[in-house]
């Protein structure tokens, strides 16, 4: 065969395989032999870099022109193709073409992946792809996209018609598809629709194989109360039988009452339970069923007064369910001039604290404000109206306690279980312990190297956890000024922290879009939860310690099973940041507070049992969302269920008045 026949065969083979551009290169090499090698290579490189722009642009135009019912599934392919086109151009040295490509198409992904784009902006050379952890993990991982079969077939047909080896190669190497039967999902922003697998997911799967003990700690206050309650019921039963021993009818009635506990308050509680609906569950349905775990940390003893107080609250607890929603008490800070950084409410709802950007904390005692007709609090200002009362201008007396000591904005504050201590964290890299009895600062804890975003007391008190911009979380005790444990492993800021009910674990949420569970005793990470698309801002643990909820910047809430490390289901309803989460005392309801000025209530127990076919059809969120409570233009900063299942909430008004 002569050279023309060989070239014809090669050209036909390349066209058959979709490599038409290679045929042009062959013709160019034969027709223009006068070109220098450097000029030829430069022309080929320029055409190669243009293939990324043209291929992605054609795929993008086709996806946006698709039918509405399939468009949201097909658009999921664009983001992984976009970032890998950009990184491929950078790795090949086409820096100018890479930035032209990035700036041309970045608007498509600003809403869902703004933080990822900010990190990719720092990639300025091929070396950065190896040195930057975020870029390196993306190059080593693979995107898994959930898509229905018909959408998948449409995508394959279009890729075949495009004959773009560049785009096809990126999809084959970096994108995997989870093809589902039936119609496309009705949830366009399903957090589980696009997930990462590869080095990150493999490491998480390895960590998640470790055994954890998710139950409550044994010998807790609740256990003591259960025992004392049983003894009390038996005593009352005996007294009732003795007083009515001569009357057979009365004796029979006393025996029946004795079987029911023979407690007047308990009878009242049962009446309340029956009034709330037939679906109301027994008080200890999940708490008593949870296994008891021995705490790894030496826990402080609980005083008798505290036990009696908790006992009184438990006796008066209102049972909640999907048909018996809680009462909500919302405290609004007005005239803060955007100075409120955080807020927190004590466990019994008697104290409210606000942390401000001027480095101060202000604590209000609800007992001193019972006679006032309003619950709107001010950080200062002179605007008053007929329906508004400004705290601090009553007879010239200040009706809050001012705590000063930090030298930077206060980012978090939390009360101890009894409310006698208050912790605060600040941009000044310190944590301060305050006494609400003495109204004084007791200790200043130093250890973090950067601003501290969150701090939380343990359920048993004495210990507390903090997290910081330095990418670590730390365990402290009140009697030591240095941390006991340092948890390191997140790739970005650790934004929130939460204790497990048995005090053996803490959970941390980070800007790296992951939640991690840490063993307090060893400091080892025992769970990694992957699924969020943006930074995690809030965490909550169910009372039995089996489930965890996490809320992110996009408004998505995800519930997790701690044993398996898997997501139970996402809850998509908020339109802005979820700043606070709280489980009810029996664990049947979840409350969420958001910057979209709403408090939402979710039915956790029924949602966990939703069939997979209903979850795929998009009915899960409608079944779980019980009620949305809008505020008067006030973003919700904090939520707290009291022991009696009253929901307290607090937030700052976005403007100076209504």
So what's the pLDDT on residue 299? 75
Tell me the three state secondary structure of residue 393.
coil
Q: Is the pLDDT of residue 268 over 60?
A: no
Instruction: Give the separation between CA 649 and CA 636, rounded to whole angstroms.
Output: 7
Q: What domains can be seen in the chain, in order of their start residue?
A: 47-198 (1.25.40.500), 319-371+398-609+623-653 (2.130.10.10)
Q: What per-residue confidence (pLDDT) applies to 113?
A: 81
Range among 136-140, 221-225, 448-452, 623-627 with highest mean pLDDT value: 448-452
Concatenate the DSSP letters of all residues of 521-553 into one string.
TT--EEEEEE--SS-EEEEEE-TTSSEEEEEET
Which of these, 173, 158, 161, 163, lies nearest to 14 by C-alpha position?
163
Residue 599 in this model has a pLDDT that exceeds 90: yes
Q: Tell me which of 157-161, 214-218, 306-310, 322-326 is least confident.
A: 214-218
Asked whether residue 233 carries a pLDDT value surpassing 70, the answer given is: no
Q: Which position has the token pair 């002179």?
A: 382
Cβ proximity of 252 and 539 under 8 Å: no
**pLDDT at residue number 487:** 93
**Predicted confidence (pLDDT) at residue 18 exceeds the cutoff of 80:** no
Average pLDDT over residues 166-177: 87
Helix (H) or strand (E) holding 572: strand 566-572
Side-chain-side CA neighbours of 91 within 13 Å: the count stands at 12
Residues 422-465: tens digit of each pLDDT: 999 999 999 999 999 999 999 999 999 999 999 999 988 889 99
Give Cβ neighbours of residue 621 (< 8 Å, ≥ 6 apart): 187, 570, 571, 572, 573
CB count within 10 Å of CB 320 equals 23
The side-by-side arrangement of strands in the sheet containing 505-510 is: 494-499, 505-510, 514-519, 525-530
DSSP per residue, 615-657: HHHT-HHHHHEEEEEE-SSEEEEEEEE-TT-PEEEEEEESSS-
Q: What is the pLDDT of residues 184-206, one digit of tens each?
A: 776 555 656 677 666 566 677 77
User: For residue 480, what pLDDT band results from cuts at 50, 70 and 90?
Assistant: very high
Tell whether the model's pLDDT for residue 5 goes beyond 70: no
Q: Are strands 525-530 and 514-519 parallel, antiparallel or unpaired?
A: antiparallel
Q: Do residues 208 and 514 lie in contact, with contact meaning Cβ atoms separated by under 8 Å? A: no
**What percent of the chain is predicted at pLDDT more than 90?**
32
Residue 638: count other Cβ atoms within 10 Å of its Cβ: 24
Q: Which has the closest alpha carbon to 203: 140, 131, 115?
A: 140
Of 46-55, 233-242, 371-380, the least confident: 233-242
Residue 117 has what pLDDT? Answer: 86
Cα 188 from chain centroid? 20
82-109 residue pLDDT tens: 999 999 999 888 888 989 999 999 888 8
Cα–Cα distance measured from residue 48 to residue 261, given in angstroms and rounded to the nearest whole number = 81
CA 159 → CA 69, 116, 146, 169, distances in Å? 20, 26, 18, 11
Q: What is the mean pLDDT of the chain?
A: 77
Counting Cβ atoms within 10 Å, is residue 56 exposed (0-12), middle (13-18) or buried (19+)?
buried
Q: Is the dihedral of CA 403, 442, 331, 313 positive or negative?
A: negative
Is the pLDDT reported for residue 498 higher than 90?
Answer: yes
Query: Strand, coil or helix: what is 110?
Result: helix
pLDDT at 245: 41
Query: Which tokens go with 167?
Result: 């785009």
Rounded average pLDDT over 322-342:
89
Q: How many CB atoms lie within 10 A of CB 366?
A: 18
Q: How far is CA 69 from CA 151, 598, 657, in A?
A: 10, 30, 43
pLDDT at residue 617 greater than cutoff 90: no
Query: Which residue matches tokens 């496309």?
Result: 184
CB atoms within 10 A of CB 75: 17
pLDDT of 262 higher than 50 = no
pLDDT band at 120 (very low <50, low <70, confident <90, very high): confident
* CA 603 and chain centroid, separation: 17
pLDDT of 318 reads: 85
Structural element, H or E, at residue 150: helix 149-162
User: pLDDT at position 282, please?
Assistant: 38
Secondary-structure percent of the chain, ordered helix, strand, coil, rounded to 5: 35, 30, 35
Residues 382, 389: Cα–Cα separation, whole Å:
10
Question: CA–CA separation, 539 vs 495, rounded Å?
Answer: 10
Task: Report the distance separating Cα 297 and Cα 162, nearest Å.
Answer: 62
Give me the pLDDT at residue 108, please: 87
Length, in residues, of the chain? 658
Longest C-alpha distance within the chain, in Å? 124
- In 390-520, beta strands by DSSP E: 401-404, 410-415, 421-426, 430-435, 440-446, 452-457, 463-468, 472-477, 485-488, 494-499, 505-510, 514-519
Q: Is this prediction's pTM over 0.75?
A: no
Q: Is the dihedral of CA 355, 361, 362, 363 positive or negative?
A: positive
Q: What's the whole-number mean pLDDT along residues 477-503?
A: 92
The CA distance from 329 to 349, in Å, is 9
Please spell the DSSP secondary structure of 320-341, one letter per residue.
Answer: -BTTBPPPEEEEEEES-TT-EE
Q: Are 516 and 528 in contact (CB under 8 A)?
A: yes
Q: What pLDDT does residue 564 have?
A: 86
Distance set, CA 53 to CA 77, 84, 90, 98, 525 (Å): 16, 12, 13, 9, 42
Q: How far apart are CA 357 and CA 579, in angstroms?
A: 17
* Phi, psi at 333, each rounded to 5°: -85, 125
Of 345, 314, 305, 340, give the one whose Cα is nearest residue 329: 345
């Amino acid at each position: 065969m002569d050279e023309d026949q060989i070239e014809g065969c090669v050209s036909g083979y390349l066209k058959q395989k979709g490599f038409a551009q290679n045929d042009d290169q062959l013709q160019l090499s034969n027709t223009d032999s006068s070109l220098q090698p450097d000029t030829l290579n430069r022309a080929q490189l320029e055409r190669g870099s243009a293939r990324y722009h043209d291929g992605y642009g054609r795929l993008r135009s086709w996806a946006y022109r698709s039918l509405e019912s399939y468009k949201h599934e097909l658009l999921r392919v664009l983001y992984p193709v976009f970032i890998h086109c950009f990184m491929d151009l950078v790795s090949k040295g086409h820096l100018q073409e890479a930035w032209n490509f990035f700036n041309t198409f970045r608007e498509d992904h600003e809403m869902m992946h703004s933080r990822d784009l900010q990190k990719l902006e720092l990639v300025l050379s091929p070396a950065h792809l190896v040195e930057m952890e975020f870029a390196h993990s993306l190059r080593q991982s693979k995107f898994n996209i959930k898509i229905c079969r018909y959408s998948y077939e449409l995508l394959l047909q279009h890729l075949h018609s495009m004959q773009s080896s560049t785009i096809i190669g990126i999809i084959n190497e970096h994108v995997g598809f989870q093809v589902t039967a039936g119609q496309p999902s009705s949830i366009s922003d399903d957090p589980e629709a696009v997930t990462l697998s590869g080095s990150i997911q493999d490491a998480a799967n390895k960590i998640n194989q470790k055994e954890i003990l998710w139950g409550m700690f044994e010998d807790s206050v609740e256990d003591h109360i259960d025992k004392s309650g049983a003894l009390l019921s038996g005593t009352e039963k005996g007294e009732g039988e003795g007083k009515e021993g001569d009357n057979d009818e009365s004796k029979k009635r006393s025996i029946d009452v004795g079987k029911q506990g023979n407690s007047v308050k308990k009878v009242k509680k049962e009446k309340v339970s029956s009034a709330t609906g037939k679906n109301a569950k027994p008080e200890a349905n999940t708490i008593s069923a949870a296994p008891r775990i021995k705490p790894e940390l030496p826990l402080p003893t609980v005083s008798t007064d505290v036990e009696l107080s908790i006992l009184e609250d438990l006796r008066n607890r209102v049972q909640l369910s999907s048909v018996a929603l809680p009462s909500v008490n919302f405290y609004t800070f007005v005239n803060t001039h955007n100075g409120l950084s955080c807020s927190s409410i004590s466990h019994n709802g008697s104290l409210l604290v606000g942390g401000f950007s001027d480095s101060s904390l202000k604590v209000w005692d609800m007992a001193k404000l019972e006679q006032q007709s309003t619950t709107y609090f001010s950080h200062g200002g002179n605007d008053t109206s007929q329906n508004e009362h400004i705290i601090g201008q009553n007879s010239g007396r200040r009706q809050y306690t001012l705590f000063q000591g930090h030298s930077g904005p206060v980012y978090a504050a939390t009360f101890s279980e009894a409310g006698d201590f208050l912790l605060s964290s600040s941009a000044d890299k310190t944590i301060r312990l305050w006494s609400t009895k003495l109204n004084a600062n007791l200790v200043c804890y130093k250890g973090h190297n950067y601003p501290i975003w969150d701090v939380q007391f343990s359920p048993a008190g004495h210990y507390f956890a903090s997290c910081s911009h330095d990418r670590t979380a730390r365990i402290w005790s009140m009697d030591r000024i240095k941390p006991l444990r340092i948890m390191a492993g997140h790739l970005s800021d650790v934004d929130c922290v939460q204790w497990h009910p048995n005090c053996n674990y803490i959970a941390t949420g980070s800007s790296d879009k992951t939640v991690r569970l840490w063993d307090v005793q060893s400091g080892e990470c025992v769970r990694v939860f992957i699924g969020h698309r943006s930074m995690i801002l809030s965490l909550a643990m169910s009372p039995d310690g089996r489930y965890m909820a996490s809320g992110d910047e996009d408004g998505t809430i995800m519930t997790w099973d701690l044993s398996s490390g898997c997501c139970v289901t996402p809850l998509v309803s908020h339109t802005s940041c979820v700043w606070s989460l709280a489980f009810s005392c029996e664990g049947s309801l979840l409350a969420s507070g958001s910057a979209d000025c709403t408090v939402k209530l979710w039915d956790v127990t029924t949602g966990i049992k939703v069939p997979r076919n209903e979850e795929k059809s998009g009915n899960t969120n409608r079944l779980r969302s019980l009620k949305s409570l809008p505020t008067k233009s006030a973003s919700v900063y904090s939520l707290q269920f009291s022991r009696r299942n009253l929901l307290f909430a607090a937030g700052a008004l976005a403007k100076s008045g209504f």
